[in-house]
Amino acid sequence: MPQILRRFAAYYRPHTRLFLLDFCCAVASGLLELAFPLAVTLFIDRLLPTGQFGMIALAAVGLLLIYLVNAGLQVIVTYWGHMLGINIETEMRRKAFDHLQTLSFGYFDNQRTGKLVARLTKDLEEIGEVAHHGPEDLFIAVMTLIGAFCIMLWVHMPLALMAAIIVPLTAFLTTHYGQKMTETWQALYGRVADFNTRIEANVGGIRVVQAFANEEHERRLFARDNSQYRTTKLQAYRYMAASMSLTYLSMRFVQVIIMLAGAWFVTQGSLSAGGFVGFLLLVNVFLRPIEKINSVIETYPKGIAGFQRYLNFLDQQPDIVDRPTARPIGRLDGDILYRQVGFRYGSGRSVLDGLNLTIRAGEMAAFVGPSGAGKTTLCSLLPRFYDVTAGAISIGGVDIRDMTLKSLRGNIGIVQQDVFLFAGSIRENIAYGRLDATEAEIREAARRARLEEVIDAMPQGLDTVIGERGVKLSGGQKQRLAIARIFLKNPPILILDEATSALDTETERAIQASLAELSVGRTTLVIAHRLATITRADRIFVVDRGRIVEEGSHAALITREGGLYRRLHQVQVEGMASLLEGT
Nearest approach, Cβ of residue 376 and Mg ion (Å): 3
Q: Which residues pair with 357 in a beta bridge?
A: 338
> Residue 454 and residue 461: Cα distance in Å, rounded?
8
By the rule CB under 6 A, 202 interacts with ligand ADP: no
| Pairing assessment for the beta strands 336-344 and 350-359 based on DSSP bridges | antiparallel
Taking the least distance from each CB to ligand ADP, the nearer of 3 and 110 is: 110
In whole angstroms, the minimum distance from the beta carbon of 582 to Mg ion comes to: 31
Residue 354's SS3 state is strand
Q: Applying CB under 6 A, does 373 fall inside the site for ligand ADP?
A: yes
CA dihedral of 118, 122, 127, 129, whole degrees rounded to 10: 180
367-406 residues near Mg ion, rule: CB under 5 A: 376
374 binds, among ligand ADP, Mg ion, none (CB under 5 to 8 A by kind): ligand ADP
The total of other beta-carbon atoms located within 10 Å of residue 40's CB is: 19
How far is C-alpha 232 from the chain's CA centre? 23
Give a three-class secondary structure readout of 545-558. CCEEEEEECHHHHH
| Whole-angstrom distance, CA of residue 384 vs CA of residue 341 | 13
Q: How far is the CB of 474 from ligand ADP (least distance, A)?
A: 24
Q: What would you measure as the largest C-alpha separation in the chain, in angstroms? A: 123
Q: Which of residues 66-125 bind ligand ADP (CB under 6 A)?
A: 109
Nearer to Mg ion, 369 or 410 (CB): 369
Out of Mg ion, ligand ADP, none, what residue 371 binds, judged by CB under 5 to 8 A for its kind, is: ligand ADP
Site string for Mg ion, 324-363 (x = CB under 5 A): ----------------------------------------
Q: Does 247 bind ligand ADP (CB under 6 A)?
A: no
Q: How far is the CB of 379 from ligand ADP (least distance, A)?
A: 8
Q: Is 374 in the site for ligand ADP (CB under 6 A)?
A: yes
**Distances, alpha carbon 570 to alpha carbons 391, 474, 503, 537, 547, in Å:** 34, 32, 22, 18, 22
* Strand bridging mode 493-497 / 350-359: unpaired
Among 14, 62, 158, 372, which residue interacts with ligand ADP (rule: CB under 6 A)? 372
Which one among 29, 170, 377, 523 touches ligand ADP, defined by CB under 6 A? 377
Minimum distance between the CB of residue 414 and ligand ADP, rounded to whole angstroms?
A: 13
Give the total residue count for the chain: 583
Between 350 and 376, CB nearer to Mg ion: 376
The single residue among 330, 348, 459, 582 that binds ligand ADP, judged by CB under 6 A, is: 348
Q: Which of 202, 376, 501, 535 lies at the binding interface for ligand ADP (CB under 6 A)?
A: 376
- Residue of closest CB approach to Mg ion: 376
- What are the distances in angstroms from CA 387 to CA 47, 133, 335, 406? 84, 45, 19, 15
CB of residue 299 to ligand ADP, shortest distance in Å: 40
Alpha helix stretches (DSSP H) within 134-165: 136-155, 157-163
List the single partner that 477 binds among ligand ADP, Mg ion, none, CB under 5 to 8 Å by kind: none
Name which of Mg ion, ligand ADP, none residue 345 binds, using a CB cut-off of 5 to 8 Å depending on partner kind. Answer: ligand ADP
Considering only 267, 325, 371, 583, the residue that binds ligand ADP (CB under 6 A) is: 371
Residues 522-581 that bind ligand ADP (CB under 6 A): none
In the complex with ligand ADP, which residue's Cβ is closer, 54 or 348? 348
State the Cα–Cα distance between residues 487 and 440, nearest whole angstrom.
13
Give the pairing of strands 364-368 and 539-544. parallel
> What is the distance between the alpha carbons of residues 33 and 30, in angstroms, rounded to a whole number?
5
375 binds ligand ADP (CB under 6 A): yes
Sorted by sequence, the CB contacts under 8 Å of residue 41 that are 6+ apart come out as 155, 272, 274, 275, 277, 278, 279
Considering only 131, 281, 351, 531, the residue that binds ligand ADP (CB under 6 A) is 351
Q: Choose from Mg ion, ligand ADP, none: what does 413 bind? Cβ within 5-8 Å by kind.
A: none
Phi, psi (rounded to 5 degrees) for 249: -60, -45
372 binds, among Mg ion, ligand ADP, none (CB under 5 to 8 A by kind): ligand ADP
188 lies in the site for ligand ADP, by CB under 6 A? no
Minimum CB separation from ligand ADP for residue 376, in Å? 3
Are 482 and 518 in contact by the 8 Å Cβ rule? The answer is: no
Under the binding rule (CB under 6 A), the answer on residue 347 touching ligand ADP is no
Closer residue to Mg ion, CB minimum distance, 316 or 376 = 376
Partner that binds at residue 275, options ligand ADP, Mg ion, none, CB closer than 5 to 8 Å by kind: none
Amino acid identity at 433: G
Residue 110 binds: one of ligand ADP, Mg ion, none (C-beta under 5 to 8 A by kind): none
Residues 497-536 that bind Mg ion (CB under 5 A): none
Instruction: Give the Cα separation of 127 and 152 in Å (integer).
Output: 36
Q: How many CB atoms lie within 10 A of CB 554?
A: 19
Nearest to 107, CA basis, from 286, 335, 318 = 318
Strands (E) across 345-471 are located at: 350-359, 364-368, 390-395, 398-399, 412-416
**DSSP string of 447-477, one letter each residue:** HHTT-HHHHHHSTTGGG-B--GGGTTS-HHH
Q: Which stretch binds ligand ADP (CB under 6 A): 374-382, 429-437, 485-493, 528-536?
A: 374-382
Stretch that binds ligand ADP, among 162-170, 186-194, 325-333, 345-353 (CB under 6 A): 345-353
234 Cβ contact partners less than 8 Å away, ≥ 6 residues apart: none
Interacting residues toward Mg ion by CB under 5 A = 376
Interacting residues toward ligand ADP by CB under 6 A = 109, 345, 348, 351, 371-377
